[in-house]
Each structure stands twice: as C-alpha cells, then as structure tokens.
Amino acid sequence: MTTLVFVHGFMGGSQQWEAQRAALGAEYEVITLDLPGFGKNADLEPPDTIAGFALWVLNDLSARGVARFHLVGHSMGGMIAQEIVAQAPERVGQLVLYGTGAAGILPGRFESIRASKERAHTEGARVTARRIAATWFLKQEAALNYETCAALAERSSLRAILAGLDAMQSWSGVANLAAIRARTLLIWGDHDRTYPWSQIEQLWHSISDARLAVIPDCAHAAHLEKPALFNSVLDDFLRI
C-alpha cells in the first residue's frame, strides 16, 4: 500500500487531518505527523530552521521503515515539504503543496512575522495561539472547527512558536522550485489570509509539472472548512 504523509503547518498537529485519514485510509497508508514542538510532540525541542524540520521528518519516516511516499504539506508544512524534496527528491512520489509558498518572509500575510513574534512575547503563547488560529478560517472564531484548532494550537509553547516563526522568516525555497520534478498539486483557499495568490502563482509558474486547485469560500484551512471537496480534489490527483 502506498504511503501518504501529511505535514501540518505552524501551531498545527496530526489531529487536524482526521477527515483526510477517514476518507483516504482505505487506499493509502496514511501517516499524519506531529512536528517537534507541536501537537503530540509539543514536549520535543523544535528546530528553528525549515531544513531542520525537513530532516526530522525524513529521519522519522526512515525510523518507521518508510522509504518512499506521497507528500502533503500545509502552510509551514508546505515549506518543509519543499525542503524534503530538495534534500531527498528520490523519496517523494507525488507532491501536494497546500496553502503555502516559497518565500518564508510571507509578503501579504495578515501580519508580518516580526509583528507575530513581538505580539507572542507580549501576549503569551495561549493568546497568540487562539488569535492566529482564528485567521485560518473564513468565519474566524465562529467557524465550526475553530475551537478544535485553537485547542491544538494552544499546546505550542512560546519557545516553539518563536522557533517556528524564525524558521519561516529565514527560509526561501525559490531557488529550488525549478528543480522539483515530482508531479505536483497546488491547493489554495481563495480567501487565504496567510498566503496570498501571488505566492501560489509563483509555485504554479515555477514548478514544471504543477496543476492548481482553488477551493472557493475558504481561508487557510480548506481541509477543515470544506473537507469533502478538499478530499475529492486530493483523491482525484493522487489516483492519476
């Protein structure tokens, strides 16, 4: 059975992918990771570079006996996925980059990474987690899955939050885009407040074998806002 690996984004965790596990678990060996510093691995020391997160994922999968896999990366996880392809292209079958970009500075984000770091210091981890989690949904705090995501985000320590922000801020994968040879799907919610269209367009035009799916009336968490549509798009891509 083909292995399908999901890498969550900043302040996320494996629990965010339950709808995808349920929909795709019969066809694939689904692995939903918790990055160090986040989710069920909140007690682990987080790297402060995207390359460090990518190496951790590759080592974790090797320890599980997984040599080759399809890869889905969301948000910061999409940056990590790009870095995984750069570090070990032979291990990635098909690639899904979802709600992400190739520029860690995140131009057009709802606030700058510098502002997020300053507010995290001032407000603390819990307030920061709940405030940022709200931006992931079109209806913000009123969204159906907001509380679940906010509770998951709250597991992140201030140290992990700052490490994740530092990792994103210092990373760029632009120079590596032309070298990506994996068949690639880009997924984007048309009201994403974190990654504007310009970043998705850059991926689309720079990766040679890329196709694009835009999920309407969603923000940054389309897999939770419209899971049936998201799962259908993902399944259709992987089956070809």
Q: What is the pLDDT of residues 187-211, one digit of tens each?
A: 999 999 999 999 999 999 999 999 9
List, edge to edge, every strand of the sheet that includes 29-32. 29-32, 3-7, 69-74, 92-98, 184-189, 210-215
**% of the chain surpassing 90 pLDDT:** 86
Q: Which top CATH class is 3-239?
A: alpha beta
Instruction: Give the integer Cα–Cα distance in Å for 7 and 32.
Output: 7
Look at the chain and count its residues: 240
For 8, half-sphere exposure in the C-beta direction (CA atoms, 13 angstrom radius) is 27
115 pLDDT tier (thresholds 50, 70, 90): confident
Q: What are phi and psi of 28, to 5 degrees?
A: -135, 155
DSSP 45: P
pLDDT at 110: 82
Q: Distance between the two ends of the chain, CA-based, in angstroms?
A: 16
User: Mean pLDDT over residues 111-124, rounded?
Assistant: 86
